[in-house]
Structure 1
Amino acid sequence: MRVTVCELPDERSTFEAAWEALVAYVKEQKSDLVLLPELPFSSWFATTPDFDATIWQRVQQEHDAMMKRLPELAPATVLSTHLLIEEGRHLNRGFVWTPEHGYTGVHDKYYFPDEDLFYERRWFDRSPQDFTPVRVRDMVIGFMICTEVMFTEWARHYGRQGVNILAVPRATPPHARWEVAPRMAAISSGAFVISSNHAGNQLFGGRGLIIDPDGEILAETSHQTPFVTAEIDLEVSAQAKKTYPRDVQE
């Protein structure tokens, strides 16, 4: 199957052109699966320690509008996250979109940083901890949204549930940890890891990644090449689960 990852500009003035280029690229590549960055449809907003309901409403409206445009990427399956309010809680929810079934919410982000310019703990609420995979077509997909990829125990947990693709949508600065952690998640789970990121604004590092079950980078994006595609064989993931270190008994 053909998998596409990307880096998309955080800056809204250039986002529309980048989106149109991505749509054209996905059509040209005949992609089966596309991963967008974490909360891709607005500029990053959790930069202040004080929650602002007006900002949240604007960002949610921006996401709601772009979610209606996901069919532009059909017939590919699309993975990403969006924000919503549910029972009074402010959530960052990973989702799967397919042409056949539309939107399916899958996993609410559970681990939030509380750092300078990334005050997510002040902006979002937790749902009950739930790392349950979802079956889509021939894929078994698990979400590890951004900071969650640092918790490698959940990668191993997903691997034991037969996950063959781990989706790691990000909004992260440039740092080696954002290569090391996804590679370790692949090694721990025996799954392919795909990761897409925001880019630009002197805050975000870009660099989408496609990683095989042994932690080798198959493809990565750059400022010059913001979209990449790799052909993967899900059977490779099934075989990887029978080998070290996935076969080590706990």
Structure 2
Amino acid sequence: MVKAWSVEWPEGLLPGEAAWEEISRQFVDARNDILITNEMPFGFWQPTRRPFDVQAAREWAALHERALDTLSRLPLAAVISSRPVFNGRRLVNEGFVLTEGRYEFIHQKHYFPSETGWEEELWFELQRPGFDVVKIAGIKVGVLICTELMFVDKARHLGKAGADLIAVPRATGVDHRMWRTAASMAGIASGACVVSSNRVGTRPGSNLVFGGGGFTVDPDGFEIAVTSAQQPAITLDIDTTLTAAAKSRYPVYVKEPALEPNMPGV
């Protein structure tokens, strides 16, 4: 059985510094486990303002590129994360997995908020569409990056594709109500476990506060645990017999309607 880790990591985290060394020690007995990090976990959160800052974007992307080696050296079976990648015009938010030092693309974020603190619609774009399931550490995994968790049809799609785990890296504020509700609905709609991680702390020079509160949800949509300052890392057992059973129950088994060519939506 595979364990999946949910964490809350500090805003402004840098590889190799004291906070990182403390984080690394949490995984000394986790060699068969999967870690889900928060969204674009290194450095300070950048898409806080208008206009798009090309130099800040380049530096943030370069920091995450350098940090891949640090992430790959964590003693885990796999690390699922996301990172900003500069494409010459804007950033893309790329979900990936590191397995034995090997980088594998999973998914790019599709949905971007546009409000104070989260001006992502201006900073990011999509280059590689799709919501796919990949095999990681013996289980089937899909990724929904932050805002994508709000779209329950995407969770249902991943469940229909066989996902045992939906990994949700995010960067959200102190109000967790919508996120925890959305995660429960994602579990219910997909028959998959949902594990989400978040950053925690204040963005310097702004009123932006990230609220931590990583969480784990079982394949029936029940919340199992939530991270806190006292317990910044938690685990959930991913039992594929339970996810398979959940996919045979309501509402996961309900079939999509077969639309005729002349019906709306075709």
Q: Sort the TM-score into its range (normalised by shorter chain).
A: over 0.9
2:138 aligned partner, one-letter code: D
SS in 1 for 2:73: helix
Closer, same or farther: CA 181–229 of 1 in aligned 2, 3 Å? same
Closer, same or farther: CA 86–55 of 1 in aligned 2, 3 Å? closer
Structure 1 stretches lacking a partner, 5+ long: none
* Residue 244 of structure 1, CA deviation: 1.1
State TM-score, norm by structure 2: 0.88
2:26 aligned partner, one-letter code: Y
Provide the alpha-carbon RMSD of the alignment. 1.8
Most deviating of 115-124 and 13-22 = 13-22
Alignment of 1:222 with 2:228, yes or no, is yes
- Structure 1 counterpart of 2:264: none
Q: Find the aligned partners of 1:146 and 1:105 in 2 and give their Cα distance.
A: 17
- Structure 1 counterpart of 2:3: 2
Poorly superposed stretches of 4+, deviation over 6 Å: none
> Which structure features the higher share of helix residues?
1
Most deviating of 24-33 and 111-120 = 24-33
- Structure 2 counterpart of 1:107: 107
Alignment of 1:66-145 (within 5 A): 66-86=67-87, 88-99=89-100, 102-145=102-145
Checking the alignment, whether the CA contact within 8 Å between 1:23 and 1:73 is kept in structure 2 is yes
* Residue 6 of structure 1, CA deviation: 0.3
Most deviating of 4-13 and 157-166 = 4-13
State TM-score, norm by structure 1: 0.93
Q: Find the aligned partners of 1:27 and 1:191 in 2 and give their Cα distance.
A: 27
Checking the alignment, whether the CA contact within 8 Å between 1:2 and 1:30 is kept in structure 2 is no
1:224 aligned partner, one-letter code: Q
Q: Find the aligned partners of 1:15 and 1:200 in 2 and give their Cα distance.
A: 19
Alignment of 1:119-198 (within 5 A): 119-175=119-175, 176-198=177-199
Q: Find the aligned partners of 1:14 and 1:70 in 2 and give their Cα distance.
A: 8
1:141 aligned partner, one-letter code: V
Larger radius of gyration: 2
SS in 2 for 1:184: helix
Structure 2 stretches lacking a partner, 5+ long: 203-207, 257-266
Closer, same or farther: CA 12–142 of 1 in aligned 2, 3 Å? closer
Q: Find the aligned partners of 2:223 and 2:17 in 1 and give their Cα distance.
A: 29
2:253 aligned partner, one-letter code: D
Closer, same or farther: CA 5–165 of 1 in aligned 2, 3 Å? same
* Residue 155 of structure 1, CA deviation: 0.6
* Residue 31 of structure 1, CA deviation: 5.0
Number of aligned residue pairs: give it.
249
